[in-house]
Amino acid sequence: MAMTNPITVENSMPEFRSIFSSLIDEDGYLINQEHLNCREITGKSLLVLRTSKDSKKNNKAAKEFFNIQLPSSLGISTGENDAKCFWISPDEFWLLNNQQDKENLVGKIKLLPEGLSMTDNSAAYGILEFTGENTDNLLARWMSYDLSGSLKEGKVISTTFGQAPVFVYRENQKLLMMVRHSFSHYVVGLFQDSAKRI
């Protein structure tokens, strides 16, 4: 659903609010302390691709329509213009692109062969970026996953943060976390509280 030219009652521009917009401070941070920073990443689109039982067909479609290679278990593959493809399950892949590339991708939905389908989930997830040497330490308060031991770059995992489902991966020494819109306040509340005692 792209934004069209606004013709509204009050002639105002539709206001797009990012998922964490009501929680970030005036500098755009959620945590801003020594050895630990957290900010929101905006301007991305997230499309959920479901695949068929025919892996040849899947790989062909991925290459043809999205110019990307489907990764294997827990893997991440990359494409042009910062495009990323995450393995979520044997038949589910997430395509993370820049916002401006979304319309083009959404247009491909009707071209997908039988057995494949795609849904726009851009509004459903927010993306947080953690930097600083205390990152793993902070997340270890709420995640039972062995981040420092098992989360290498190029790997994406789906797990829990407290009671919230989250998706986590690393990129360029940063840690990225995708959080469902409705769990945003909860997740932020938890890690802001823990950060006070790190």
Among 54-62, 63-71, 77-85, 156-164, which window interacts with another protein (CB under 8 A)? 156-164
At closest approach, how far in Å is the CB of 122 from another protein? Answer: 7
Nearer to another protein, 28 or 80 (CB): 28
Query: How far apart are CB 115 and another protein at their closest, in Å?
Result: 6
Q: Does residue 56 touch another protein according to CB under 8 A?
A: no
- Choose the stretch contacting another protein; rule: CB under 8 A; options: 27-35, 58-66, 77-85, 88-96: 88-96
Dihedral through CA 149, CA 40, CA 178, CA 125, nearest 10? Answer: 180
Under the binding rule (CB under 8 A), the answer on residue 108 touching another protein is no
For the bound state, the minimum distance from the C-beta of residue 141 to another protein, rounded and expressed in Å, comes to 5
CA distances from 168 to 97, 126, 171, 196 (A): 16, 12, 10, 22
Work out the number of other CB atoms within 10 angstroms of the CB of residue 159.
14
| DSSP letters for 34-81 | TTEEEEEE-SEEEEEEE--S-HHHHHHHHHHHH--PPP-TTBEEE-ST
Of the candidates 57, 78, 124, 174, which one interacts with another protein according to CB under 8 A? 124
Give the shortest CB-166-to-another protein separation in angstroms: 9
Rounded least distance, CB 56 to another protein, Å = 17
Q: Which of residues 30-49 bind another protein (CB under 8 A)?
A: 48
* Helix %, strand %, coil % of the chain (to 5): 25, 35, 40
Cα gap 88→156, rounded to integer Å: 8
DSSP 8-state class, residue 25? -
Give the footprint of another protein on this chain (CB under 8 A).
Answer: 1-10, 12-19, 22, 48, 50, 52, 73-74, 88-92, 114-115, 117, 119-125, 140-146, 148-150, 157-160, 162-165, 180-186, 189-190, 193-194, 196-197
